[in-house]
Every structure is written in structure tokens, then in C-alpha cells.
Structure 1
Amino acid sequence: MSDQYDNNFGTQEDKPPKSKSKSNLVQSIFNFCNVLIGVGILSLPLAFKYTGWIIGISLLFFCMGAANYTAGLLIKCLNYKEGIYTYPDIATIAFGNLGNFVTLVIFTLDLIGVAVSLVILIGDSLQLLFPDISLISLKIIAWVILMPLGFIDLKYLASFSCLGILTTIILAIIVIIDGFARDERPGSLFNPMKTELWPTDWNSLPFSFGLIIAGYSGHPTFPSIYLDMQTPNNFQKAINISYIFGTVIYLSLAVCGYLMFGNLTKPEITQNIVSTPDHLIFLNKFIVWAVAINPFTKIALILNPINLYLETQYQSSPCNLWTHLRNGCYIFIKFLSRTFVLTAVVFIAIKYPQFDRALELIGSFLFYAIAIIFPSMFYLKLYSNSLSWWEWLVNLLLILVCTVLAILGTIWAFLFY
């Protein structure tokens, strides 16, 4: 990337100060993996219950391949011209102000929605551990802990990403250990439940669409992680490793969870474990702690694209804050902005504790649009004159197939709700 801004963003002199230290390949992989791999994997056995083995595994690998491919397209679009730094910037260059508005709404709803859901999850999990403290107080405590994380460079957030990945792996290991510790069904890997090759109820199949794509929809954060890489040319290598590692975790938990509980699988596999007689009691605390800790490692990373977008907007505003407010003033403006974003997220989580349920209704649409449909559309628009016929075909098929999946998943979610 060139360091020079184009006319939409001012000159290099007006550019917001950036950290001199950037993330190496390993740190970038940690950040990518932390965005992708979350507690949502606990719902993958349920997705396999809806799909059966053949469709479930096929859809998982389709989402992996499609999202991995469009991640590369997104970075190509980011490098289309100088001065593009965020996901909405790409939409503006590709489709003008209307494209920017539509994408910005979905981009913001996606990231804010996920962050709010994670704060709600933190509060609910901590209340199981500390029942004497009110839910509102626990969310305010979470706000205090999360506040300094919002100002840490991505290079150093990689350490928290490592913790997030570790807690997710621990969750998966706990599920598998519990399966090998039982001899009787349900919940045993030695004596698995009956499973199906194909869906037993085809009307339930669309419920799986959003559950599976959710693990591959970290695209809004990719530009900021990419721009923070010491060697941006390693992006594709980093994203490939992250997607392969994530898929191994996803597939392991989905397969083991579905084998353990079959058609008795609940929305989160940990619900089956803690509600099954004679489960390993000591694992219960580990599960709750892991679920509580995991979101703390993700929220700063998820909100970073919004913060970056706002800071570029301050620069391109009529008063051009970066020109007139330098050094300490820049830090103060950045502090106010990032504090406001996090406070808004926690406020929504307190005011609307069922917000995560509303997000589930439109999750299929948001995830497919952000991860696959929009990047393919941007790529076709920006590089239309230089694409081969097969690139056109592949991207048009991705747009068509994922639009159908998004629509069906959203309609079925509303019917289910």
C-alpha cells in the first residue's frame, strides 16, 4: 500500500498517526483465527442435526472455500487505488454513495451486533459464576475491562487473540473429553447416537445456513488486520492457515457433538453436556469460565474496523480534525471516539438484553452479504475490464447461490422465531 492519501482523504500530512510497530505473520494469524473461531462453534452440532452428514460437511467446505476466496478479493479491492482503508471505502469506490450507505449500514449492524451479543454473553456467563452481582453491574465491569483493550495496537492484541483461540480449543477439548468419558448414550463417543446421512426434516434445513457461515464471516475486520501486517504479501498465506485451522476445529466439534447426541442435540452442545446425567461436574465450571473469557478477547478486534472508519471520516470532515488537532489532541479525539463506540455497545447490551436474539433473525443475510456477496460484487465492478470469463462465472454463481441461502435462512429464522 502506498502511504499517500488520495483527494478523498487528504494529504499524507493530514493522515492520522499510525503505530510504528506492526504485526508479524504469526500475530496476524492469531488475530485472524480469533475473529473466525468463537463460541458460535458450539452450535455447529445443531447445524449437522439439521443437515445430516452429507449436506452438513459439503456446506461447511463450501462456506470455507467461498469465504477464503472472497477474502482475497476483498484485499485486491482494497489495493485498487490509493486511499482505500476500510470495507465501506471499497463500497464507495465500487458503487458510489448509495453503495457506501447500504454497505455501511450492514457493516455497522454486523459488527455492532456481534459485539453486543458478546457483551450479553459475558454478562450471562459471569452471572452464573457470580449470582449475587446484578447483570447490569457485571456488564459495567465488563465495560471497564474492555475499555483499555480498545487502545491496544493489533500487534499486541495478538496476545489476547491467542487467549481467545486457547479458550475456544479448550471448549472443544472439553466436549470431546466428555464424550470419551462416557460409556452410555447419549453423550458417548464410544457408543454414539444414531445419526443421518441426509436431513430427517427438510423443512429444518435452512436453519443451518446461518449457523455454518457465521464461522467464516470475519471479512469486515480483514482490511484493518491486513493494513497492520508487516508484510502484506503474506495475507493470503495467513488467511489460508487461519481458515484451515478454523475448519479443523469446526469439523471436529461438529462431528463429535453430533455423534454424541444425534437428534437430541440442543442449540449449544454445552447445554447437552451440563444437562446430561452423570456428566463430569468439574467440567461445568471450565465450560462457563471459557465461555465468559472468550468474548473479552474478541470485542476490541471486532470494533477496530468501526473505529478506523470513524477516524478516517474525522480526517475527511470539513474541519479536518487531523490537520488542526495534532499529537495530544489527536489522541484525545481518538479516546473520545473509541470510548463512545464501546459505551454504545455496552448500553445496547444493558438496555436490550434480547438484542442477540434479534440478530439471529437476520444473521444469515448479514453473514452471507458481508462475507461473500458484497466482496464478489465489488470485485466484478472494480475489475470488470480485466477479468476472465471463468472469474465472472465463479463470482456470479457465488452471488446467486449465497443470495438464495441468505434469503432462505432469513425467512426460516423469522418463521422459527
Structure 2
Amino acid sequence: MYEPAVDSNHDINFKSKLLSEISKVYSKHDLDRISRKISTWSGRGSLPDQLMDDLHITFGCSVTQTVFNSVNVMVGVGVLSMPNTIAQAGWVGMGLLILFAVMCCYTAYLMKNCFESKEAIQSYPDIGEAAFGKYGRLIIAIILYTSLYAYCVEFIILEGDNISSLFPDLSVHMGGLSMDSVHFYAILAAVIMGLTLLVKNARVISLLSATGVVSTVMVLLCVFWLGTVNVGFHENGPPVKFGGIAFALGVYGFCFSGHCVFPNIYQSMADRTKFTKAMIICFALCVFLYGTVAVMGFLMFGEGSLSQITLNMPPDAIASKVALLTVLLPSKVANSYWSYITLRIALVASSICVAFALPFFGLLMALMGSVLCILTSLILPAICFLRINGSKATTTQIGLSVSITVVSTICMIVGTYSSLSDIVNQL
């Protein structure tokens, strides 16, 4: 039988407990507002939607913070290869850069629609499961983890090349083992990266991760300084070089591959209705950063632009040393647990072996971009959206999704074939 006194006590106890938990993270002003809302609540059901919306919108990432986090994810080592894409593909590469940015921004919008279609969808594997069941989740998870492993290989190659540019004369001889500076510094960089696995403090990890945007801005400023003070902007090139378009496509796919983190960024927003706005701003900033380095770097070094612009920089210039030291800052560090340390150290060790076997920074980036990144950033978001929301989607959404899928598949096939052919030729 229903007893009002018992119900009243239940409400009072629940309200007190709720306020006690909320007081741990909310300010006094917000506590007063929340307390008034709870006091007006009647009934034994769930909290009113208005209250939950207020709590959600008050706390979380703003649009500015979301843009910063997203740019930090996407703008990384890919910026170093921007001048080389123009050297390989011609000035048409700038048009391809903008095209990829627009397509990837739209697929981020498609992912947002997938999140909003079902409350249970909160991660990228969730999207795969909602679209294609457990096998969809498994396939996407494999692609994501393979991408992370490939990133480690890229970073080891990057560090070995750049540190050896700073200190090229070092060589190691121990017994019958001889090692040049590139291989030694690659191993040293991998060891340092491995030590970050021992860090358990999430705040330290977040501070290390935040250096990504700072590093990119520093590289941009160093390139500008070199162009205006040391080298000058005097080079030029042809509008189109068809033989290098496939390479450029792979690199651009790599540059805009932040979709595996977008679910976390979306969930962290205070007002998720502004996710699309944040993505538009983010991709516009990425195009600006990538495009600026591409144009300035190519105007400085022209057809001689290497896979990493830092390798073109005059070794005696101060800006060169600053840029080289900047790219050594950790740009992405994953959270870790002691139970996984052995496995992760083994993965780092194996990534060293792969980096030594395939020491082609630009070609490996193009291969990753052509296969893994185009899959995660373009093809999978589009087909999963069609699978999940196809019946509710507009004609425009369906047409754009199908077009992106077709164009991206062609780019993936062409880019993969070109990258693999070039790697085999250089082995």
C-alpha cells in the first residue's frame, strides 16, 4: 500500500544525497539553482529533463575548448609533409587539401547524426555495432588499433630523422654491433616514449598532449622566420603533376584523420548542438595551418622539398634548431595501466623493428592515409550513417554520403597502389 510519509522520507533522503554528490563539483551559485529545481520536483520518477539539460550544459567543454581539442588531434606531424605534397602533385594539391577538409568535416557531421539517433552510441565501435552488428564493432576496433600502431611507427621514424639532423656525427659501436645516428636516436626516442607508459596521472598526460597545438604553431612561426630572414620565398612549380596526386591524397587523408576521437569530443561538449559549428571552425583552422606551411615551405624549397620540412631547414639557422626541437615534443600520449605495461612495451619494441624495416616517413604516411585514415574518416562514417539513418536521411544527405563513399574508395585504391609501389621500389 502507498504510504505518503515513506514516500516523503524517500524524496528527502534522495534530494539530500543528490545535493551532497553535486556539491563536490558545482559552485555555490549553481548549487542554489539546482536546489531550487529539485525542491520543485514532485513524483518518484526520474529527474526532469530540464534539470538534466541544465546540469549538462553548465558543465562540459565550450565551443572554443572543443575546437582546441579537435585541432590538437588533427594537426600533428602531417604538417611537416605539406610542402612535399605540392612538390609531388603541384599546386593542385592545395585544392585537394580543401576538398578533403570539406569531405571530412561533413562526415564528422554524419557521425553526430549517428550519435543522436540512439543514446547507446557513444564511441566509434558503437557506431559500427549499430550499423553492422558485432562484426562491425570488431572491424572498426581493428582498424583503430592498427592506426594507433602505425602512428607509433611514424613518430619513431620522425624522431630518428630529426634528432640525427641536430647531432649527425654520433655513432655507436658495442662489440659487433654498429649503429648510425638515425637508428640510435630512433631507439632513444622509442625508449623515452615507452617511459610515458609509466605515467598514471591523467593531468600530466593531458599537459603532454596539449603540446600538439603549441608545437604546430612553433613550426609555422619557424617556417615563416626562415622564409623572411634566411631562405626567402622564390621557388615556383607547375600547376599539376599527375604522378604525385595519389601521394598527396594519402597524406591529406592522414592529416584529417581525427574521427576516431570525435566521439569522445562530442560526448565532452557542454552543448552538443554546437558540435557542427565547432567542427567547421576546426577544419577551417586546420586548412589554414596546413596550407600556410605548404605554401611557405614550397616557396622556400620548391621541387627539393623533402618528406619533412625540418630536413630542408639550414642546420645553422636558429629557427631550424627551434623547429627541430619543437617536433620532439610529445604530441600524443595514451593513458596507461600497469597491467598493460608489458604489452605496450612489446608493441613499442615491435614498432621500432617496423620503423627500421620501412624508414620512409612520407610514403608510410601516404600509405596510412590511403588505407586506414580514409576508411575511418570518410568511408566508414558515410556507410554507417546510411545504414543507421538511411530511412530518415534527406535526399541531399544520401547523395552526398554515396558520393563521398565512391570518391573516397577510388582515392583509397589509387593511393594504396601508388604508396605500396613506391615503397617496394625503395626497398
Which category describes the TM-score, using the shorter chain as reference length?
Answer: 0.7 to 0.9
Assess, with a 3 A threshold, how the Cα gap between structure 1 residues 227 and 338 changes in structure 2: closer, same or farther: farther
Cα deviation, residue 198, structure 1: 2.1
Q: 2:323 aligns with which of 287, 302, 327?
A: 287
Match of 2:178 in 1: none
Assess, with a 3 A threshold, how the Cα gap between structure 1 residues 157 and 63 changes in structure 2: closer, same or farther: farther
Cα deviation, residue 242, structure 1: 1.6
Residues 157, 355 of structure 2: 8 Å contact kept? yes
Deviation readout 1:68-106 (Å, 9 max, x if unpaired): 111121122123223222211211110123322322221
Q: 2:80 aligns with which of 18, 32, 42?
A: 42
> SS of the residue aligned with 1:206?
helix
Match of 2:65 in 1: 27
Deviation readout 1:107-143 (Å, 9 max, x if unpaired): 2111221134224534554566675895435422332
> SS of the residue aligned with 1:374?
helix
1:223 maps onto 2:263 in alignment: yes
Assess, with a 3 A threshold, how the Cα gap between structure 1 residues 57 and 351 changes in structure 2: closer, same or farther: closer
Q: 2:380 aligns with which of 371, 374, 381?
A: 374
In 1: Cα distance, 2:243 partner to 2:107 partner: 29
Assess, with a 3 A threshold, how the Cα gap between structure 1 residues 246 and 344 changes in structure 2: closer, same or farther: farther
Deviation readout 1:241-282 (Å, 9 max, x if unpaired): 2211111111111111122222222222222223xxxx6522
Assess, with a 3 A threshold, how the Cα gap between structure 1 residues 115 and 269 changes in structure 2: closer, same or farther: same
Assess, with a 3 A threshold, how the Cα gap between structure 1 residues 344 and 246 changes in structure 2: closer, same or farther: farther
Cα deviation, residue 167, structure 1: 1.3
Letter in 2 for 1:107: L
Deviation readout 1:148-176 (Å, 9 max, x if unpaired): 2x6516xx866445422111111111112
In 1: Cα distance, 2:319 partner to 2:376 partner: 36
Q: 2:288 aligns with which of 227, 236, 248?
A: 248
1:403 maps onto 2:400 in alignment: no
In 1: Cα distance, 2:243 partner to 2:338 partner: 48
Q: 1:73 aligns with which of 102, 110, 131?
A: 110
Return the TM-score normalized by structure 2.
0.74
In 2: Cα distance, 1:340 partner to 1:188 partner: 49
Q: Identity percentage over the alignment?
A: 27
Residues 31, 157 of structure 1: 8 Å contact kept? no
Match of 1:99 in 2: 136
1:108 maps onto 2:145 in alignment: yes
Cα deviation, residue 35, structure 1: 0.8
Residues 252, 369 of structure 2: 8 Å contact kept? no
Cα deviation, residue 34, structure 1: 1.0
Larger-gyration structure (1/2) = 2
Residues 68, 240 of structure 1: 8 Å contact kept? yes
In 1: Cα distance, 2:397 partner to 2:139 partner: 25
> SS of the residue aligned with 1:372?
helix
Letter in 2 for 1:387: A
Letter in 1 for 2:240: W
The alignment of Structure 1 onto Structure 2 pairs a total of residues equal to: 348
Cα deviation, residue 380, structure 1: 0.5
Match of 2:95 in 1: 58
Letter in 1 for 2:111: L
Residues 72, 213 of structure 2: 8 Å contact kept? yes
In 2: Cα distance, 1:359 partner to 1:49 partner: 16
Assess, with a 3 A threshold, how the Cα gap between structure 1 residues 72 and 147 changes in structure 2: closer, same or farther: farther
Letter in 2 for 1:111: L
Assess, with a 3 A threshold, how the Cα gap between structure 1 residues 101 and 257 changes in structure 2: closer, same or farther: same
> SS of the residue aligned with 1:292?
coil
Assess, with a 3 A threshold, how the Cα gap between structure 1 residues 158 and 142 changes in structure 2: closer, same or farther: closer
Match of 2:226 in 1: 178
Letter in 2 for 1:140: V
Match of 1:310 in 2: none
Cα deviation, residue 22, structure 1: 4.7
Instruction: Answer with 135-144 or 105-114: which moved more.
Output: 135-144
In 1: Cα distance, 2:352 partner to 2:240 partner: 41
1:198 maps onto 2:240 in alignment: yes
Instruction: Answer with 94-103 or 66-75: which moved more.
Output: 94-103
Residues 118, 299 of structure 1: 8 Å contact kept? no
Assess, with a 3 A threshold, how the Cα gap between structure 1 residues 337 and 232 changes in structure 2: closer, same or farther: farther
Residues 179, 188 of structure 1: 8 Å contact kept? yes
Residues 33, 242 of structure 1: 8 Å contact kept? yes
Assess, with a 3 A threshold, how the Cα gap between structure 1 residues 103 and 61 changes in structure 2: closer, same or farther: same
In 1: Cα distance, 2:123 partner to 2:359 partner: 25
Where do 5+ consecutive residues of structure 1 fail to align?
1-19, 305-333
Letter in 2 for 1:75: K
Assess, with a 3 A threshold, how the Cα gap between structure 1 residues 339 and 234 changes in structure 2: closer, same or farther: farther
Assess, with a 3 A threshold, how the Cα gap between structure 1 residues 362 and 356 changes in structure 2: closer, same or farther: farther
Q: After TM superposition, list the pairs within 5 Å mapping 1:73-152 onto structure 2.
A: 73-122=110-159, 125-126=162-163, 134-135=184-185, 136-148=187-199, 151-152=201-202
Q: How large is the Cα RMSD of the aligned pairs?
A: 2.7
In 2: Cα distance, 1:253 partner to 1:50 partner: 15
Letter in 2 for 1:143: G
In 2: Cα distance, 1:198 partner to 1:126 partner: 34
Assess, with a 3 A threshold, how the Cα gap between structure 1 residues 396 and 175 changes in structure 2: closer, same or farther: same
In 1: Cα distance, 2:265 partner to 2:343 partner: 19
Match of 1:12 in 2: none
Letter in 1 for 2:349: F
In 2: Cα distance, 1:231 partner to 1:249 partner: 27
Cα deviation, residue 45, structure 1: 1.1
Assess, with a 3 A threshold, how the Cα gap between structure 1 residues 416 and 351 changes in structure 2: closer, same or farther: closer
Q: 2:232 aligns with which of 173, 185, 188?
A: 188
Where do 5+ consecutive residues of structure 2 fail to align?
1-57, 173-183
Assess, with a 3 A threshold, how the Cα gap between structure 1 residues 141 and 269 changes in structure 2: closer, same or farther: closer
Q: After TM superposition, list the pairs within 5 Å mapping 1:240-389 onto structure 2.
A: 240-274=280-314, 280-293=316-329, 296-300=330-334, 335-336=337-338, 339=341, 342-354=344-356, 357=360, 360-389=366-395
Letter in 2 for 1:188: G
